[in-house]
Structure 1
Amino acid sequence: MSRVVRAGVWSVRWEVRTVAVCVALAGVALAAGVFVVGTGDLPISASEVVRVLAGQGDQVTEFVVTTLRLPRVVVGLLAGAALGLSGAIFQSMSRNPLGSPDLIGFTTGSATGALLQILVVGGGTAAIAASSVLGAVVTALAVYLLAYRGGVHGSRLVLVGVAAAATLEAFNAYLVTRAELRDAYEAAFWLTGSLNGRGWDQALPLTLAMAVLVPAALASGRWLSMGELGDDAAQALGVPVQRTRAALVVVGVGLAAVATAAAGPVPFVALAAPQLARRLTRRSGPPLVPAALMGAALLVVGDLVSLRLPVAVPVGVVTGVLGGVYLVWLLMSEGGKGRA
């Protein structure tokens, strides 16, 4: 009886910790968003930003906040959440900390679709976004079919995805080198991942897509938890492993695709957010909600850092630097566990 009570106490403790981490991450993301809105040629204090968002303030400030700067923050929050959630799905499904959509080719395929639109076909923002989503879908389908051998296993999916990413990276570099200078500059800027110039025409479609994909991702939490036990154990518990895995690939790719279409291929957020969330919450199972909030916080804080640097740089440069350091640390820590 005491064991049951103790287990209940520990369960409550871990749930309280998870809720506290989620609240803290949401607070960090929103606070960073307020400072991003206040940063620019016309500086606005955080208190004034809050007043404008509450429906107060003069017309000029309201125009700057709600029309010019707020969409940038909305895109950053939603794209970061989408990347964190997508990373949590693929890392849990593959049972591999490196199984994130930016390393297994899906965001690279999304970038390929956008580059073909920019450099070959031509078109506006909507066409580039649509081609970006299409590129991710086609890449995911190709990776899934190549990894299918009587079913898709996590390790095989990661290996095939890494090979696809390397191939697509080379193809993307070829496209840029063959382009006209002006088009190559636009493509290179898009490839870094940036929130500059984002407006409601990017924020609203992303919001609608997230309204569909996020509930689908959260509903998969139970299946992901069972899948982490292994395919045989999951099947014994009544989980249709291959059908569930195919559905999870669709949701995860959708999240990564819409984020990349809105903000470009921002690196390492999908890789780092789930791992950091798992370490903070210290709970077993896929950290879906904490990973989404961590992704939103990482992307918006990275955007704030990029705006406050002496030389303006895209947010993808900031997350790339931080993510590279994190990846080295992750590989070293995993290597140390392997030697132990």
Structure 2
Amino acid sequence: MNSPALRTSPRVRPRTRRTALTAIAAGLLLLGLVVVRVLVGTPMVPLDLALRVIGGETIPGISFIVMDHRLPTAVVALLAGVAFGLSGTVFQTLLRNPLASPDVIGVTIGASAGAVIAMAFFQADGRALFWFALLGGLGTAVLLLLVAGVGRPGAAGAVDNRFVLVGIGLAAALGALVSYLLTRLSLQSAGDAMHWMIGSLSTSTWDRVAVLAAALVVLIPALALLVVRLRILQLGDETATSLGLPVPRTRIALIMVAVALSALTVAVTGPLSFVAFLSGPIARMLAGRPSFPLAAVVGAVIVLLADIIGQNLFGGTELPAGVITGVLGAPFLLWLLTRTPTTGR
């Protein structure tokens, strides 16, 4: 007699194979985009010279272009996309809402508000701006948790819906605050703030690579441990509790890891619109099921592709990556609104 596992394995194997093949294809695409970002631009860099420079050889002009400009930009784009992709997928899975993302529930605007406050009142830049943006994102998350009552017992659907609604309201309030603060800045400072709020990779350096890499080294293993609990949490609060899972603490831990991923990245690159929102649904469509690794790769592909388009396809005008991701994300949001119920799992 066939066991249940044997009866279901023919269905499981094609889905697993599809996920693996999709991940390999996405990884190859990602590698190709990194190569394109390093080689393509004004001026073009021959592949052999780029490889020699990366191997340690010093070539006047080429070494600066590759090692001090294009390669750190490509690596920051890759790491930022991974962080945004994972953060958005956590929110969408946890809140059972494909429209939930750090953009929608106020985390990114909170980080932006922290940065603008630093510019308006402390004339901060560089490292100080990074810390203010990070504190703004984390402070927004704490306020969300307190107002939405995520740590209090209650029906999962009600808590999730309340969290999203509170986040939307908080995002609107923070947006108004940012608009007011911009009127208090000098023209030059306001221009700098607006450029940062669009989201750009133009100031990428190896120091910023190190910040993002260190954050991901800590946060990705933490998320990997929590994903197992997230799968149990999806069975429902009562079932999860009966299995011994501390539901409120698990929710809060997942939210804080997702917020840290998003806020740290916003502090480095600015709020790249819709990357966190797009990555999870696209990965799910490609793999046929939710996939955190694939969402991370999709996020990196989106950011790299947006930066390549913005830097090379508009003649002498270079557009920040955030402009391109906004153009890509807006129609996808409208399409998703027409196809997916906002309370669907």
**Bucket of the pairwise TM-score, normalised by the shorter protein:** over 0.9
- The equivalent of 2:95 in structure 1 is 94
Post-superposition CA distance 1:117-164 (Å, at most 9, x none): 122211231111111100001000001100017347221111111111
Q: Is the 1:48–1:57 contact (alpha carbons within 8 Å) kept by the matching residues of 2?
A: no
- The equivalent of 2:63 in structure 1 is 62
Q: Which moved more, 1:18-27 or 1:138-147?
A: 18-27
- Summarize the alignment of residues 212-231 of structure 1 with structure 2, pairs less than 5 Å apart: 212-231=218-237
Q: Is the 1:103–1:165 contact (alpha carbons within 8 Å) kept by the matching residues of 2?
A: yes
- The equivalent of 1:291 in structure 2 is 295
Opposite residue 279 of structure 2, the aligned amino acid is A
Q: Is the 2:120–2:184 contact (alpha carbons within 8 Å) kept by the matching residues of 1?
A: no
Distance 2:233 2:302 in 1: 27
1:61 shift after superposition: 2.1
Pick aligned residue for 1:276 from 282, 302, 326: 282
- The equivalent of 1:145 in structure 2 is 146
Opposite residue 299 of structure 2, the aligned amino acid is G
1:98 shift after superposition: 1.3
Q: Does 1:191 align with 2:221?
A: no
> Aligned-residue CA RMSD in angstroms?
2.0
Distance 2:194 2:322 in 1: 12
Pick aligned residue for 1:166 from 169, 172, 178: 172
- The equivalent of 2:208 in structure 1 is 202
CA distance 1:146–1:335, shift in 2 (3 Å): closer
| SS state at 2:45 partner | coil
CA distance 1:48–1:25, shift in 2 (3 Å): farther
1:13 shift after superposition: 2.2
- The equivalent of 1:331 in structure 2 is 337
1:202 shift after superposition: 1.2
- Summarize the alignment of residues 1-340 of structure 1 with structure 2, pairs less than 5 Å apart: 1=2, 4-46=5-47, 48-55=49-56, 58=59, 60-148=61-149, 150-151=152-153, 153-283=159-289, 286-310=290-314, 311-334=317-340
| SS state at 1:289 partner | helix
| SS state at 1:198 partner | coil
1:45 shift after superposition: 3.4
Count of matched residue pairs: 336
Opposite residue 181 of structure 2, the aligned amino acid is L
CA distance 1:148–1:335, shift in 2 (3 Å): closer
TM-score (norm 2): 0.92
Q: Which runs of 5+ in 2 are unaligned?
A: none
1:47 shift after superposition: 5.3
Q: Is the 2:275–2:329 contact (alpha carbons within 8 Å) kept by the matching residues of 1?
A: yes
Q: Which runs of 5+ in 1 are unaligned?
A: none
Q: Which moved more, 1:35-44 or 1:123-132?
A: 35-44
Opposite residue 217 of structure 1, the aligned amino acid is L
Q: Which moved more, 1:258-267 or 1:216-225?
A: 216-225
Q: Is the 1:227–1:234 contact (alpha carbons within 8 Å) kept by the matching residues of 2?
A: yes
Q: Which moved more, 1:260-269 or 1:21-30?
A: 21-30
TM-score (norm 1): 0.93
Opposite residue 313 of structure 1, the aligned amino acid is L
